[in-house]
Amino acid sequence: MPDQAEDRIFPIPEDLKNLLIPDDGLEGRWELIRCLVLPATAGEIIKLAALADEVVAEFLGRYIAVPKYSSDDKTKKTLKQDFNDRIKALTNILPKLDSDATHYTDHFEFLGAIRQLRNKSAHSSGIGMDVAKEFAANAVMVNLVADFPKRIWAAVTSLKGYLGSLSL
């Protein structure tokens, strides 16, 4: 029974085993943790998040350039602030421009997930068990890093297309 012998030599905590060998179909959990821990992929997450941020900032710039929205000083300020503030501004604007929330709900899930992934990638040299469990339980994050980086690129492209299609 080599498994038992290996467990005695290199004990793997049960919570880690459950995290890496899921029974809920989210096999991409390992990919998520790998992306956050490896410097090259963590750097790529940061760059892709910056691209998503640029897409949002570009849209907000177009929004405030329209005369009927140009008096929105709060949105103007968000252009000079951070990604989180721009996402919040977008959450206030999109319902005014698109009455069907199903058109943008996935985009907000993507933006929230990529922001969290970027923050963890940029502000940590590793990942603890608590954060690993939290992120691994987030199906949006797990699916986003599956087939890394293709799904993130697809989500950024979809966001850009959606925002570009809105009538201002």
Report if residue 149 sits inside a domain.
Answer: yes
**pLDDT tens for residues 28-58?**
677 787 788 788 888 999 999 999 999 999 9
- The first and second tokens of residue 67, run together, are 């005369």
Domain that holds residue 133: 28-165
Residue 10 lies in a domain: no
1 in any annotated domain: no
Element (DSSP H or E) covering residue 58: helix 39-65
Q: What is the pTM of this model?
A: 0.81
The pLDDT score that the predictor gives to residue 19 is 61
> pLDDT > 90: what percent of the chain?
49
Per-residue pLDDT at 117 exceeds 70: yes
Inter-residue contact 87 to 108 (CB < 8 Å):
yes
Residue 6, in any domain of the structure: no
Is residue 6 very low, low, confident or very high in pLDDT (cuts 50, 70, 90)? very low
Count of domains for the chain: 1
